[in-house]
Amino acid sequence: MKKTILLAVLVLNGFTSFAQSNEEKNIKLFYKKALTEAKCYTWLEYLSNDIGSRLSGSKGAEKAVEYTKRQLETLGLDKVYLQEVMVPHWVRGEKETAFILDGKLKTNVPICALGGSVATPKTGLTAEIVEVQGIEELKALGAKVKGKIVFFNRPMNPENIETFVSYGACVDQRFAGAKEAAKLGAVGSIVRSMNLRLDDFPHAGAQSYGDLPKEEYIPTAAISTNGAELLSKSLKANPALKFYFKQSCETLPDVLSYNVIGELTGSVNPSNIMVVGGHLDSWDLADGSHDDGAGVVQSMEVIRILKNLNYKPKNTIRVVLFMNEENGGKGGAKYEEVSKQNKENHIFALESDSGGFSPRGFSIEADDTNYKKIKEYAPLFEPYLVHSFTIGHAGSDIGHLTSKAIVKAGLKPDSQRYFDYHHAANDKFDAINKRELELGAATMTSLVYLMDQNGIVLPTAN
């Protein structure tokens, strides 16, 4: 009897533990829709298996623009359109070859040209090789590397739980290694793949010659982690050995491409824009299913779920599929340029560009007030095993946005396997788990919904 009376009192006072808020109910519905009715996995299957790699300037990129625009048009959005952008057109050419020359012994190793690299001579390039752990060690060697191939062999640190921290700590040797080696008279550079495991997949990625004159460009390539281990071991046994590699890549004139955009117009504050997006382009070695086909279809799924539920957003919600994130960032830059011309006001942007693995949280770029406000949403995500709300980089494409007051977030999936596939030939559709992909889409939908309902805290005027 006492228990019955106590329960009645709790209910009358509105404190029953069985009550759910509208936010809890809607988020539960988003996850249900994503796990039972989502189209993102089917969309990704087509992008990956029917279209394939989508490096900017390629036929694959062109087909991806046409396909995603067509799919967005089927959703009944208020607007779907293309935004013109000129993008780089780099082509790999025939498959690269490389081997270690140790006396009469010739050992093949897997390599791939890095994006934007020049070709070797048609017969290939042979030279002695110098191993360094990074750019600072290279600079310390100075003129000793002249006429040689520089081998950058700093590995990703396995001690970091956040694997993107390990990536960030050594990716400078991939991006700027060739430039710095060329300044010292090196004839080529080889870079250890950005990968935590040992395998035979060389990982592509962008590199830049900076402001070097074109006649000083040197060819540069990534070597697989197994290849890097073998080369390092061989150099220790014989520092005078030579290395040979051959690649036929080239940079063609820029071509016209597009960002693909679809939107639901806001019912209260239509001039306030919220972006959710990923990048359509991918490296040419594989399908780019994790990088970033997953982010593309998850972003499309967000707006599909909201439209399907007849949700009327307060602010304009815009899905943007950016072109050319991988080797130039032209799509993100163009989107911001047009946004400024149109005097648009972005209040929130969410990007998915960390793979299609199980969602764990968000990386947030915001002032203290808005960050604390977003962290207050954490209990709403806990039933879905989403728990990490940290300050950090939100995304490369939305990084271009410079509205006066804007909050940015990047989806944070579990990253332990991401660099096994990143920019490599095994980043294919069979590496995608359907359920994990859908959970990511539901998690993104939930945050977009919360941000739309609650808005952001505007800075106070001094």
* Residues with active-site annotation: 325
Measured CA distances, 212 to 140, 178, 237, 329 (Å): 20, 10, 35, 20
Take residue 82 and report the two structure tokens written for it: 């293309």
Q: Is 294 in contact with 250 (CB distance < 8 Å)?
A: no
Cβ-based neighbour number of residue 35 at 10 Å: 14
Three-state DSSP class for residue 215: helix
CA distance 408 to 445: 15
Residues in the chain: 462
Q: How would you class 247 by CB atoms within 10 Å of its CB: exposed for 0-12, middle for 13-18, buried for 19 or more? A: buried
Cβ-based neighbour number of residue 19 at 10 Å: 9
DSSP codes, 289-337: IIIIIHHHHHHHHHHHHHHHTT---SEEEEEEEES-TTTT-HHHHHHHH
Q: How would you class 370 by CB atoms within 10 Å of its CB: exposed for 0-12, middle for 13-18, buried for 19 or more? A: buried
